[in-house]
Amino acid sequence: MSKGRTEAVIERLHGLHPKMIDLSLGRLEALLEKLGHPERSLPPVVHVAGTNGKGSTCAFLRALAEAAGQRVHVYISPHLVQFNERIRLAGELVSEPVLVEALEEVERVNAGAPITVFEVITAVALLLFSRVPADLCVVEVGLGGRFDATNVVTPVVSAIASISIDHREYLGDDIRGIAAEKAGILKSGAPGVTGLQLPDVLEVLDREAAKQGVSLLARDRDWHIARRGDGLRYSDPDGVVDLPLPALPGEHQLDNAGIAVAAMRAAAKTALPLSWRAEGLARAEWPARMQRLTGLLAKDLPDGWELWLDGGHNPGAGVMLAGHLRGWKDRPAHVIVGMKQAKDAGQFLASVLPEADTVWAIAEPGQYLALPVEAIVSASGGKAIPGPTVRQAMAAILKQAEAGSIPGRILICGSLYLAGEILKLDQGLA
């Protein structure tokens, strides 16, 4: 798909506001009024927030509904390779002509008023969702929750995935304050669903739910999920459901899968005839979430070696990835890390370093706001080895591997923007 026309409009829009991110709802609310309030003409909405896992939860929600033949709109951010990944209309990625036409329409209606690009893209998504019939609308929060542009929707269910420290420059360092911002998506008339949370976080979520007069369904209190045989078993006061193992690997995905199931069960009570089927969990797809690569980059490795990609980039994601690495003790594990500026590289690496045989620091050409390789090495306490690019790091790993040794695994992680560049390389698009 040619991206020229889309990028041209986006480039113009960047000139409308001096900041990439400016958390506020006023500008978008004014634009939506001019557009005739498309946010009031949507299919049933599940609104998803969280620090880690909200994207995977969105993928599970979509898969559960589509397994039952439902048409699903999805709005996510950021995109990894192509801009149209952000908007899915009734199951299909929006085409460039439709996207460009909607972008230009919103641009005309906005008439040069100050507004951020994300706010415009959100308006475009809501406008398209209001015009294309569907059974469900899954909307992922961009950043925070209370003042995120997506918080103009009226959900039937609000889902909140794992909360930890991230985006300090916008949300601060206090976990309770961050939880309060995420809980800003909870709204009167719509139950909330959440997974495992720190006690302080759950206390804040419960408090904010009570303010809205809604129930908050929390894992291991109001609903449960656990492995059973070769699948999963979910239970809540309404009954027990046997589930297949999620297609997305990692123990943390049980939490995200459970949130999605709990949300769909809650939504189906009020948004009839919305339906879902459990087998959808085994079909979910979500790029750069413990994704095994099999393209051009992977072909650079000898037989038996595995190449994995994950966009995890904050301390909470580091803990999750460390858990995954502990399950890889059957063979050498090498981690290649590239991060975005302003991220807490030290805390992320503190969890990952003890579980990896080697750690390599990289910054890919074209990687948005890449943290310099030297800064990653410093954050690792000098333990990370300069790549300085992914191909060079992979070549060095193979050179160090002993002839005849057990084939290893390589995990590339640290940034969704890095993940986008890696996918381009693996797909031959770079």
Closest CA to 393 of 420, 416, 425, 346: 425
Which DSSP symbol is given to 52? B
Instruction: For the chain, report the end-to-end CA distance as a whole number of angstroms.
Output: 14
Model confidence at 118, pLDDT cuts 50, 70, 90, reads: very high
3 has pLDDT over 60: no
**Mean pLDDT for the stretch of residues 60-73:** 98
Amino acid code (one letter) for 256: N
pLDDT at 273: 83
Q: What is the dihedral of CA 162, 164, 168, 171, to 10 degrees?
A: 60
Closest CA to 409 of 320, 298, 334: 334
Phi/psi region, residue 356 (left: phi>0; alpha: psi -120 to 50; beta: rest), is beta
The strand pairing partners of 52, in sequence order, are 162
Residues across the chain: 430
pLDDT at 1: 38
Rounded Cα distance between 118 and 121, Å, is 5
- CATH fold label, 291-427: Protein-Tyrosine Phosphatase; Chain A (3.90.190)
* pLDDT tens column, 91-100: 999 999 999 9
pTM of whole model > 0.75? yes
262 has pLDDT over 80: yes
* pLDDT tens column, 42-59: 999 999 999 999 999 999
Rounded Cα distance between 222 and 196, Å, is 11
192 has pLDDT over 90: yes
Question: Does 3.40.1190.10 match the CATH number of domain 5-282?
Answer: yes
Rounded Cα distance between 394 and 422, Å, is 12
pLDDT at 169: 73
**Mean pLDDT for the stretch of residues 385-400:** 97
* pLDDT tens column, 229-248: 999 999 999 999 999 999 99
Closest CA to 420 of 360, 349, 368, 344: 368
87 has pLDDT over 80: yes
The strand pairing partners of 205, in sequence order, are none
* pLDDT tens column, 354-366: 999 999 999 999 9
Question: What would the two tokens of residue 170 be?
Answer: 């916008």
Model confidence at 402, pLDDT cuts 50, 70, 90, reads: confident
Rounded Cα distance between 263 and 46, Å, is 8
- Angstrom distances, CA of residue 334 to CA of 325, 331, 346, 360: 9, 10, 18, 8
Rounded Cα distance between 58 and 174, Å, is 26
* pLDDT tens column, 124-150: 999 999 999 999 999 999 999 999 999
pLDDT at 342: 82
164 has pLDDT over 70: yes
Q: What percentage of the chain has pLDDT greater than the value 70?
A: 99
Please tell me the least confidently modeled range out of 162-166, 246-250, 254-258, 381-385: 162-166
**Mean pLDDT for the stretch of residues 199-205:** 97
Model confidence at 2, pLDDT cuts 50, 70, 90, reads: very low
At residue 43, φ and ψ (nearest 5 deg) are -65, 170
pLDDT at 171: 79
Q: Where in the chain are the domains?
A: 5-282, 291-427
In contact, 192 and 158? CB cutoff 8 Å: yes
Secondary structure (DSSP) of 247-290: SS-STHHHHHHHHHHHHHHHHHHHSTT----GGGGGG---TTSS
Rounded Cα distance between 252 and 267, Å, is 23
What number of other Cβ atoms are within 10 A of residue 152's Cβ?
20
Average per-residue pLDDT in the chain?
95
Please tell me the least confidently modeled range out of 4-13, 49-58, 176-185: 4-13
In contact, 109 and 31? CB cutoff 8 Å: yes
Question: What would the two tokens of residue 244 be?
Answer: 């297949």
**Mean pLDDT for the stretch of residues 106-130:** 97
Q: Which helix (H) or strand (E) holds 361?
A: strand 358-361
At residue 281, φ and ψ (nearest 5 deg) are -55, -35
Rounded Cα distance between 236 and 251, Å, is 20
Largest CA distance in the chain: 67
278 has pLDDT over 80: yes
pLDDT at 20: 83
